[in-house]
Chain A
Amino acid sequence: AQSVTQLGSHVSVSEGALVLLRCNYSSSVPPYLFWYVQYPNQGLQLLLKYTTGATLVKGINGFEAEFKKSETSFHLTKPSAHMSDAAEYFCAVSDVWGAQKLVFGQGTRLTINP
């Protein structure tokens, strides 16, 4: 069975500082990995995804994530935080490409301090 662990339910950074949200996964097969962002009372928006190929994936809004198989990690980063980045972030894993169900982590709430 697959699982996702997001380390830190709440992360707080200053505006302009580096954002690092941690995600570790467990999967018996090569995983497909996703990061989604959720703003209050809204659905989820896809930030980026890893399927195959290049392990450093760039997404929207300046975010990127690196797939590290040896560490079973897919951490999300952004060099300089903006106030508008404040939201809930979910890491998810799927074991089959193509409309198969996602397993979500518990989420990390990102707060940006002015």
Chain B
Amino acid sequence: GAVVSQHPSRVICKSGTSVKIECRSLDFQATTMFWYRQFPKQSLMLMATSNEGSKATYEQGVEKDKFLINHASLTLSTLTVTSAHPEDSSFYICSASGDLAGGLSGTQYFGPGTRLTVL
């Protein structure tokens, strides 16, 4: 149980284009999803927190107009990197947490990550 998938696993794009990354909770309803960014050999940095049906809450220093987050359903959240540039190249990881009222734990379950390379 508590499986989270991400698609695509790898993406290479040209500078100036937009890229969409999907995060899905496969076997539970994710009331909250988180998006992280990880640079090589570094820890995870939280970018934003999204609750289903609400606008995402962005961490300080994260450009909301550049990193568009949508959490339209209880099983899907998307991160769109708009007008991507080489400095946006990174490993993006999502996590999902279930509904406590529904008996699920508050633990975050992580997706396998998406490697974005912007040329």
Do chains A and B interact in one complex? Answer: yes
How many A-B contacts at CB < 8 Å in the complex? 51
- B113 near A41: Cβ-Cβ < 8 Å: yes
- Interface residue? A69 (CB, 8 A): no
Among candidates A42, A49, A101, A106, residue contacting B107 with C-beta atoms closer than 8 Å: A49
Among candidates B6, B31, B108, B112, residue contacting A102 with C-beta atoms closer than 8 Å: B108
> How far apart are A99's CB and chain B's nearest CB, in angstroms?
4
- A106 near B42: Cβ-Cβ < 8 Å: yes
Q: Using A49-B107, A99-B106 as known contacts, say yes or no to A90 and B97 having CB atoms under 8 A apart.
A: no
How many chain A residues touch B (Cβ–Cβ < 8 Å)? 20
- A43 near B97: Cβ-Cβ < 8 Å: no
- Interface residue? A105 (CB, 8 A): yes
Question: What's the interface size class on B, roughly?
Answer: 20 to 34
Among candidates A45, A97, A100, A106, residue contacting B110 with C-beta atoms closer than 8 Å: A45
A-B contact pairs, 18 of them (CB 8 A): A36-B110, A42-B113, A43-B95, A43-B111, A43-B112, A43-B113, A45-B110, A46-B109, A49-B107, A90-B44, A98-B100, A99-B32, A99-B97, A99-B98, A99-B100, A104-B43, A105-B43, A107-B43
Which 9 A-B residue pairings sit nearest by Cβ, starting from the closest?
A99-B97, A98-B106, A99-B32, A43-B110, A44-B110, A43-B112, A104-B43, A43-B113, A106-B43
Q: What is the interface of chain B, defined by CB distance below 8 A to chain A?
A: 4, 6, 31-32, 34, 42-44, 46, 49, 91, 93, 95, 97-98, 100, 106-113, 115
